[in-house]
Amino acid sequence: MTIEERGDASLVTHALAKDELSRLRDVETEQVEFRKGLVRLGRICGYEIIDGRMETEYTEIQTPLTTTMGERVKGLDDVVIVNVLRAATPFVEGLLKAFPRARQGVISASRDESAGMNEDGEFPISVEYEKMPDISEDDTVIVADPMLATGSTMCSVLDHITSDGPDPERLIVLSAVSAPPGVVRVAEAFPDVDLLTVAIDDELDDDGFIVPGLGDAGDRAFRTD
Ligand X SMILES: O=c1cc[nH]c(=O)[nH]1
Indicate the residue among 71 and 225 with the shorter CB distance to ligand X.
225
Q: Does 124 bind ligand X (CB under 6 A)?
A: no
For 57, 69, 88, the CA distances from 186, given in Å and listed in that order, are: 32, 42, 18
CB atoms within 10 A of CB 202: 10
Q: Does 222 bind ligand X (CB under 6 A)?
A: no
With CB cut-offs between 5 and 8 Å by kind, which of ligand X, Mg ion, ligand PRP, none does residue 95 bind? Answer: none
CB atoms within 10 A of CB 207: 9
Bind-site residues for uracil? 210, 215-217
- Among 174, 176, 210, 221, contact with ligand X (rule: CB under 6 A): 210
d(CA 69, CA 65): 13
CB 74, CB 54: distance < 8 Å: yes
With CB cut-offs between 5 and 8 Å by kind, which of ligand X, ligand PRP, Mg ion, none does residue 84 bind? Answer: ligand PRP
Please report, as a single letter, which amino acid is at residue 51.
Answer: D
Q: Does 151 bind ligand PRP (CB under 6 A)?
A: yes
What's phi and psi for 61, nearest 5 deg?
-120, 140
Cα end-to-end span (Å), the chain:
37
CB 71, CB 58: distance < 8 Å: yes
Binning the chain into helix, strand and coil, the percentages to the nearest 5 are 35, 30, 35
Indicate the residue among 94 and 168 with the shorter CB distance to ligand X.
94
Q: Quick one: which segment of 49-57, 77-85, 102-110, 208-216 binds ligand X (CB under 6 A)?
A: 208-216
Binding residue count for ligand PRP, defined by CB under 6 A: 20
**3-state secondary structure (DSSP) of residue 47:** helix
- Among 90, 94, 168, 182, contact with ligand PRP (rule: CB under 6 A): 182
Please state the closest distance from residue 13 (CB atom) to Mg ion, in A: 27
Q: Quick one: which segment of 40-48, 65-73, 191-199, 213-221 binds ligand X (CB under 6 A)?
A: 213-221
Please report, as ranges, the residues that interact with ligand X according to CB under 6 A: 87, 147, 149, 209-210, 213, 216-218
**Residues near ligand PRP (CB under 6 A):** 84, 86-87, 110-111, 123, 145, 147-154, 182, 208, 216-218
